[in-house]
Structure 1
Amino acid sequence: MFNKIKQIKDMRNQASQIKQTLAEESVHAESAGGRVNIVMDGNMETLSIEINPELLTSEKKEELENAIKEAVNSAIKKAQRAMAMKIQGMGGLNMPGL
């Protein structure tokens, strides 16, 4: 039983270390020819969003919405890849019995 508690504590420590490491990573994604830019950290927290003012018109509302969606989805995928690589590089989460 004490061994299981130690394993759980070790897993929590590993997860915390990975989360801290990922917070220091950043990924950049853009869409609409670079007119929408998103920066996220490795934990998929949005750090910044930049939108070219030319997209801020009612005529370009749908284009802007699509560009934001595309940039966010791209940034999430990049952050997920960064997360997977960091976890793999740190030996993965050691989960005995799973």
Structure 2
Amino acid sequence: MKMRSQAMQLKKKLEAISHSEEKDGVKVVVNGAQEVIKLEIDGVDRKDVVELINKAYKEIQKEAAKKMMEEGGGLSGLLGGMG
């Protein structure tokens, strides 16, 4: 439970960090949790695109975590023999 609490605290800290970039009428703001929090195109807030981008990121993160678990299971024997 302690690790979960620490992870949640870290996530909140990362969400509080933000960075923005702007070029040719497009402005994007991301946070330290790698979420797009704002996207403006020619001054128009595009929340619909932000939601779509973040949904895509969440799905690929799930797939990547699944793949790492699958691949990691095959490597545990190798890593165990190194100590």
Structure holding more strand per residue: 2
Of structures 1 and 2, the one scoring higher in RCO (CA 8 A, sep 6+) is 1
TM more than 0.5? no
Give the TM-score taking structure 2 as reference length. 0.42
